[in-house]
Structure 1
Amino acid sequence: MNFKVLGLAALVSISFSIFSEPIVYGKLFLTFEFQDREAGRESNLVSNASRVGIKGNINFTSSLKGIYQIEYEVDPVHGKADKSRGRSFEQRDSFIGLKGSYGTLFLGKHNTAFKESQEKIDLFNDLAADIKNLLQGENRMTDFVGYVTPTFRSG
Structure 2
Amino acid sequence: MKKLLTIAVAAAIAAPMAASADTTIYGRLNQNLVHEDNGTNTEWDVEQNASRFGVKGDEDLGNGLKAIFQYEWSVDSANAGTFGGRLAYAGLTGGFGTVAIGRQWTPYYGSVDKTDINQVNGMNDTYIGTVRVGKALAYVSPNFNGFSAKVALVIDDAGALDLGDDFSDITNVSLDYANGPLSVGVSYLAFNGAAAANDGNQWGIGAKYNFGNFAVIAQYEDADLEAYNTLNGAAETADVDEFAIAGEAYFGNNTVRIKYGEVDKAADVEHWSLGVQHNFSKRTMVFAEYENNDTQGVADDDRFGIGLRHDF
TM tier relative to shorter chain: 0.7 to 0.9
Q: What count of residue pairs does the alignment treat as equivalent?
A: 129
Task: State whether structure 2 residue 139 is matched by structure 1 residue 147.
Answer: yes
Kindly report which structure 2 residues correspond to 1:68-87, keeping only aligned pairs within 5 A, or say none. 68-80=69-81
Distance 1:126 1:93 in 2: 22
Output the aligned Cα RMSD: 2.1
Would the aligned equivalents of 2:49 and 2:121 in 1 still touch at CA under 8 Å?
Answer: yes
Question: Is 2:129 the counterpart of 1:137?
Answer: yes
| 2:57 is the alignment partner of 1:56 | yes
Deviations 1:48-89 (A, max 9, x none): 110000000011014000000000000121234xxxxxxx11
- Determine whether 1:110 maps to 2:77: no
1:47 partnered with 2:39: no
Matches within 5 A, 1:91-102: 91-102=85-96
More helix by share: 1
Following superposition, the deviation at residue 19 of structure 1 comes to: 4.4
Structure 2: which amino acid aligns with 1:137?
G
User: Contact conserved, 1:110 with 1:141, CA < 8 A, in 2?
Assistant: yes
Matched position secondary structure for 1:106: strand
CA distance in 1, matches of 2:69, 2:87: 10
Say whether 1:26 aligns with 2:27.
Answer: yes
In 2 relative to 1, CA 97–134 (structure 1 residues): closer, same or farther, beyond 3 Å? same
Structure (1 or 2) with the greater strand fraction: 2
Contact kept, 8 Å, 1:110 with 1:142, in 2: the verdict is yes
SS at match of 1:115: helix
Matched to 2:50, the amino acid is: A
The answer to whether the 8 A contact 1:74-1:90 is kept is yes
Rounded to whole Å, the distance in 1 between the matches of 2:72 and 2:62 is 26
Shift of the alpha carbon at 1:137? Answer: 2.2
Specify the code of the residue in structure 2 equivalent to 1:147: Y
Do the aligned partners of 1:112 and 1:137 also contact (CA within 8 Å) in 2?
A: no
Q: Which residue type is aligned with residue 91 of structure 1?
A: G
**What is the TM-score of this pair, normalised by structure 2?**
0.38
* Identical pairs, percent: 29
Matches within 5 A, 1:6-21: 19-21=20-22
Q: Output the amino acid matched with 2:111.
A: S
